[in-house]
Amino acid sequence: MDSAKEYMENNWQRFLKKKTKNKNTDEDIEEVPSPSAAVRKSTESSTDEKNNYDDPADSNNEDSSTNTSQLTWGQKIFRTKWTCPGTNRTNDFIFRTWLSEVVKYCFFLALLTICTFSYTNSDSFYLTSAMKSLYLDDTGFHDVHTESEIWEWLEGPFLKAVYQHPVEYNVMSTPPRIRMQRVNPRDCNMPDLVEDGELCYDEYHKSRENKDNLIVGSDLPQPARYTEIPGAIAGFDYWGQALPYLRMYWAGGYLLHLPAPSDNFEVPSKAIDEIRYLKNELDWLSRGARIVLIDCQLYNKNVNLYTIIRMSFELPASGGVITLAKFSTIHVYSNTSTLDITTVICEILWLILIGYYFGEKIYEMKILGLRGFFKHLALRTQFFNLIFSMAVVIFKMVKYAIINTDDITNCDPSVQNDCYLANFVFWQNQFNYFLAIVTFLSWIELNKFFTDFESTAVFTKTLRRCGTDLISFIIVFMMVFLAYAELGVLIFGGELDDFKNMFHSIYTLFRIILGDFDFHSMEQSNRILGPIYFIAYVFIVFFILINMFIAIISDTYSEVRAELSVPGEHRYPISEHVSKLKESFWGKLGWSSHSEDDDSEDDNQIDWYSFRKEMEKSGMEEDDIKAYFQKYDENGNLQLNRKEFAKLEESLTKLKNKDLDSVSQKSANAPSVAAGDIFGQARETFVDNENFDLLRNRVAKMESAFADLTLKVDGIIVKLDQLGQRQKQARIPAMENASKTK
């Protein structure tokens, strides 16, 4: 009770002072006594000492040039809140420093956005869609399931798509290339189950790859001898589906270059003969073959785009055929395109700004020290994001500088092995992924500028405070989650594609959390364990663990909101200065400011929204707020007039005095007990330890509830007094206007 009084009294005059500043008036405000004025008078001196702090808001009228003149040249060039520390800075100086950081970073983000969107082109989607329709849908690429169907597809639909039905405006810049890789044979593990002399072939691995000639002789054609080609990553260049994760195909194999398309749109007989030569003479798709790769690249001069096509038929050791096709586009810079010139200029400016930020970070390291710099998460994130950004820009500029359209078009694949852009496309895709991460982090970093506002600080404080609890929860969650993932592989891995390995199982379980699941397939795979597995997973992970996660966030959010709602405990100088500038702006225009923090004042009445906002700040539940308001809102217009407001205030005051009087009366009327009867009564009313602890806990809960009730009543009375004070302030201008009119 005393702590509640002390808290309310300590913030009483400060609250009135704040309201006076917000209204920008020089009129004297009548001092409104608080509900416990006598206590306030006796403790006024101690309270003033407690609330005396160096508030920059009180010195906003000082010229910010006083602070600026004290800065060094390094602080003036790299002006941030980290390079300009100090508690004696005014709100105006802090705001100007914050504003300069925001402007610089927004310019940096604008350049990044321009460059990012210039790398994407809507024509890429339409172009790849047309190519997929031609090479996949019309040819029945995904309907190939056996070795014989591969030969039928190559001799028929594929050659027709390349030579007879090309997409308009797209020219085959390099002749199509077909590539095959195979593995060495070995003795079978179970010789009793196979015929004599029969060999076995493992799945693909670089150490098992067979590089022998397919036929005996000298001066063999490329399809009959192994040829090394440039690889994308340490000699590897293709990541298929039949191989385990992080395993790729080596760049090399037996190559066939088909003839270039002609203008008569006919399938050359040479192309048909070469494919039949592979099938009949060389037996390309023997039992040791593991993959057939087809590379095509076309150029569209209208949109200045290359289309890189890579289709593959994988022949796993288990049998069958796995089809996979990838379509990518590459934009080549042009010296005459306005968009390309603008993009290059933005990239150069972006690179210059990255250099500036590097200098800024180095200066911050000098001010804070290396350990102090990396102690802050925001500084660490921005520093590493700058390194990634510089790598992105340099890589983008260099890789487009080495592409020459004429060189690629006139390249002879029989002489040069680097006529195809498949490896370049691989790094282009990695670059796109990397750029996406950099862009995402850059936008997330923008949030750091809004943590200095009271309305947005609650989100960052919530995440920061619940970080430890979330880490503990994630550890427990992942143990349960991985257990279910491994269990799913063991139960369904042999039948369902969603559980064929650990990675697919993890993806499937995440999809189940989001509501995307195939219950019938699990039930058909195992009629008993399937439903049990699904129901147990949904119950434990979804209904228990996910709700615990939400509860952690929700409880922490409530704590932070309650903590930030305490006036005077937290300062937001930037937010305060922005509010002051807003009030000054509206004042110069002669308009009244109607911000969300101001209470609506209309005809000397208090509306429902203002009443609810003030009561929520005092800790009162919304149901109780509604009950009080409806009880005293006699006319039901959702507004309390002067008479209704007085009744409400009187009722709350009586409620508080009644609770205090009842406690005092019970203490005074307590019956006296003679000393001789104490032990007799104790023997009659004696309880054991268990019941004593139970009673003690109940009494403690009652005391806590009573203290909380008293605190809420005090808070409500204070808020009502504040509302009454605002009503008096609102009547003063009205009375002056009325007197002037008369």
Which residues does the annotation place in the binding site for Ca(2+)? 633, 644
Supply angle C-alpha 272, 274, 280, rounded to 5: 100
Q: CA–CA separation, 530 vs 536, rounded Å? A: 10
Chain-centre distance for alpha carbon 417: 43
Q: CA–CA separation, 514 vs 531, rounded Å? A: 18
Beta bridge partners of 310: 295, 326
Q: In the numeric block, which tokens belong to residue 541?
A: 């992970």
Tokens 């990239």 belong to residue? 347
Q: CA–CA separation, 325 vs 293, rounded Å? A: 10
How far, in Å, are 110, 131, 470 from residue 359 at the CA level?
Answer: 20, 47, 36
- Using CA atoms in the order 335, 337, 342, 348, what is the torsion angle rounded to 10 degrees? -20
Supply angle C-alpha 263, 269, 271, rounded to 5: 85
Chain-centre distance for alpha carbon 23: 39
What is 547-567 written as a DSSP string? HHHHHHHHHHHHHHHHHHTST
Q: CA–CA separation, 533 vs 537, rounded Å? A: 6
Q: CA–CA separation, 645 vs 725, rounded Å? A: 12
Question: Where does residue 653 rank: exposed (0-12), middle (13-18), buried (19+ CB within 10 A)?
Answer: middle
Q: Are 150 and 285 in contact (CB under 8 A)?
A: yes
Closest CA to 730 of 31, 25, 34: 25
Q: CA–CA separation, 174 vs 423, rounded Å? A: 15
Q: CA–CA separation, 157 vs 155, rounded Å? A: 7
Q: CA–CA separation, 24 vs 22, rounded Å? A: 6
Closest CA to 233 of 59, 426, 78: 426
Radius of gyration, CA atoms only, the chain:
39
Q: CA–CA separation, 329 vs 297, rounded Å? A: 9
Q: CA–CA separation, 67 vs 545, rounded Å? A: 52
**Number of residues that make up the chain:** 742
Contacts of residue 338, Cβ cutoff 8 Å, sequence gap at least 6: none
Other beta carbons less than 10 A from residue 296's beta carbon: 23
How far, in Å, are 432, 663, 714, 728 from residue 649 at the CA level?
Answer: 65, 22, 11, 16
Beta bridge partners of 256: 178
Beta bridge partners of 171: 299
